[in-house]
Amino acid sequence: MFDIQAVRSDFPILARQVHGQPLVYFDNAATSQKPQRVLDAIAHYYEATNSNVHRGVHTLSGEATDAYEGARVRIGQWFGVTDPGEIILLRGATEGLNLVAQVLATRLSPGDEVLVGETEHHANIVPWQQLATTHGIIVTKIPVNARGELSLTEAKALAVPGRTKVIAVGHVSNAIGAINDIPGFVQLAREVGAYSVIDGAQAAPHMRVNVAELGADFYAISAHKLCAPTGIGVLFGRRPLLEELPPWQGGGDMIERVSFSGTTFNVLPWKFEAGTPNIADTIGFAAALDYLDSIDFDAAIHHEETLHATLIQAMQAHPKIQVLGSPNKWVSVCSFNVVGAHPTDVGTLLDQLGFAVRTGHHCAMPTMEHFGLAGTARASLAFYNTREEIERFMNALDRVIGMLTD
Ligand SMILES: *Cc1c(COP(=O)(O)O)cnc(C)c1O
């Protein structure tokens, strides 16, 4: 049994009030809240073990290195990746996608094409556009269909062997919540000899993701949307590719030997991890995964899916609300507009009533443009939300609609 009240009590912030109202946190697609276990792990690291990793002969450095490298293995275990060399620890999904674009640039020539999903987060669009400027590559969008999913059929029509060199798509769109056909896109990339780059930032919090099974060349995730601290994320890459690609940033940790007559680079994964890493938050990430195991992640997802179905049903049935997209499969994101009201006004009034929702373009301006919207309000759920919060939300929305429309 998934004990929702016990789970909520693990998240201290959920007990707070906003404008004198109990907080209802529906902004989980922007970042998730953190359980006490994660906060404790970070505090414990700084209180008992803090030291720089990899270079020290002293006890603390050894302990910090063991904890940091142990966290890497733990993270790999969660995502089905057994080779620590394929797990590059970075600042977030954004940094992972920038790393991929910049190192792949050394393998691209002017006129080569990168197919990019129309519903991508800006983190999976802009790094490719930058290569268009610096390397003369062509960025072509894979169109979104009417339901809000990336069209594999249209991607197949666009992909050309010898010209298409990268297919970069999101596993789940953060503005709509649509789950895209990643096995299909990975297969297509393989068929045309292109690299597959998957933005998994919005998938990881809502489903079991087995990176090895998906088989993409690169898969980027963000820890802070998965109950872990901000400032940590992972780029998973296939070893043969990572071996052959050049390093990204230069500095400490990523080198084997430095001399003014030439420098040699460290082995994987450290070749791609220049400088002191985010040790504490990597340990916090492993603690978050331990926490998710302790509450039964599958049961948590099931609870969240039930909430989402309830929310979507109520929202779609509401005469004054328009929900963005209707994918065949989606995660617990609900992007919506109140007919005749601006999303910012909706979000501001909801905040007064204690509800945290996001408003605007959600870092996916091309998605908004496609659907002819300036922005939306977005309620995004997590497993620690409740059915009662959804009922209160629908009542609050009715009040807000009464205030904003006639
Ligand atoms: C949040 C998000 C990102 C950015 O992730 P960070 O770890 O915050 O850099 C990228 N893509 C999608 C789909 C996201 O939801």
Q: Are residues 339 and 207 in the same domain?
A: no
Nearest alpha carbon, ligand 1 atom 5: 93
Is 298 in a helix, a strand, or coil?
A: helix
Q: Are residues 300 and 385 in the same domain?
A: yes
Across the range 35-47, mean pLDDT stands at 98
pLDDT band at 406 (very low <50, low <70, confident <90, very high): confident
Q: Are residues 170 and 252 in the same domain?
A: yes
pLDDT value of residue 102: 97
> Which of 273, 292, 311 is where one domain is finished?
292
Measured in angstroms, how far is the CA atom of residue 380 from the centroid of ligand 1?
14
| Catalytic residue positions, numbered | 363
Ligand 1 atom, smallest distance to 221 CA: 7
Tell me, what CATH number does 394's domain have?
3.90.1150.10
Q: Are residues 323 and 216 in the same domain?
A: no
pLDDT value of residue 174: 96
Q: Are residues 335 and 384 in the same domain?
A: yes
pLDDT value of residue 1: 79
Q: Which amino acids bring their CB within 6 angstroms of ligand 1? A: 92-94, 121, 123, 170, 174, 199, 201-202, 222, 233
> Which of 268, 292, 316 is where one domain is finished?
292
CB atoms within 10 A of CB 246: 12
pLDDT tens digits along 69-125: 999 999 999 999 999 999 999 999 999 999 999 999 999 999 999 999 999 999 999
pLDDT value of residue 242: 98
Tell me, what CATH number does 56's domain have?
3.40.640.10
Q: Are residues 223 and 315 in the same domain?
A: no
**Most ligand 1 atoms within 8 A of CB, residue of 202, 232, 236 to mutate:** 202
Our count of domains for the chain comes to 2
Q: Judge whether 338 and 320 are in contact, CB under 8 Å.
A: yes
Measured in angstroms, how far is the CA atom of residue 25 from the centroid of ligand 1?
18
Domain interval for residue 215? 39-292
Nearest alpha carbon, ligand 1 atom 14: 201
Measured in angstroms, how far is the CA atom of residue 176 from the centroid of ligand 1?
14
Measured in angstroms, how far is the CA atom of residue 354 from the centroid of ligand 1?
25
pLDDT value of residue 56: 82
Nearest alpha carbon, ligand 1 atom 2: 201
pLDDT band at 238 (very low <50, low <70, confident <90, very high): very high
Residues linked to residue 88 through DSSP beta bridges, in sequence order:
235
Q: For residue 231, which of 273, 192, 285, 195 has the smallest C-alpha distance?
A: 285
pLDDT value of residue 55: 80
Alpha helix positions (H), 207-340: 211-214, 239-244, 279-294, 297-317
Measured in angstroms, how far is the CA atom of residue 258 from the centroid of ligand 1?
35
Q: What percent of the chain has pLDDT over 90?
A: 98
Global pTM reads 0.98
Q: What percent of the chain has pLDDT over 70?
A: 100
Measured in angstroms, how far is the CA atom of residue 404 from the centroid of ligand 1?
32
Q: What gap in Å lies between CA 74 and CA 81, rounded to an integer?
A: 10
- 393 CB-side CA count, 13 A: 28
Is 3 in a helix, a strand, or coil?
A: coil
Ligand 1 atom, smallest distance to 199 CA: 11
pLDDT value of residue 231: 97
Ligand 1 atom, smallest distance to 224 CA: 7
What is the token pair recorded at 297? 């992640």
Q: Are residues 21 and 47 in the same domain?
A: no
Read off φ and ψ for residue 21, nearest 5 degrees: -115, 150
Q: Are residues 288 and 198 in the same domain?
A: yes
Nearest alpha carbon, ligand 1 atom 9: 94
> Which of 260, 292, 324 is where one domain is finished?
292
166-180, 229-243, 253-267: least confident range: 253-267
Q: Are residues 230 and 376 in the same domain?
A: no
Tokens 């010209």 map to which residue?
Answer: 163
Across the range 376-383, mean pLDDT stands at 98
Q: Are residues 269 and 340 in the same domain?
A: no
Across the range 305-329, mean pLDDT stands at 98
Q: Are residues 109 and 216 in the same domain?
A: yes
**Most ligand 1 atoms within 8 A of CB, residue of 197, 221, 224, 363 to mutate:** 363
pLDDT tens digits along 332-376: 999 999 999 999 999 999 999 999 999 999 999 999 999 999 999
Q: Are residues 352 and 388 in the same domain?
A: yes
**Most ligand 1 atoms within 8 A of CB, residue of 197, 222, 230, 362 to mutate:** 222
Number of H helices, E strands in the chain: 14, 17
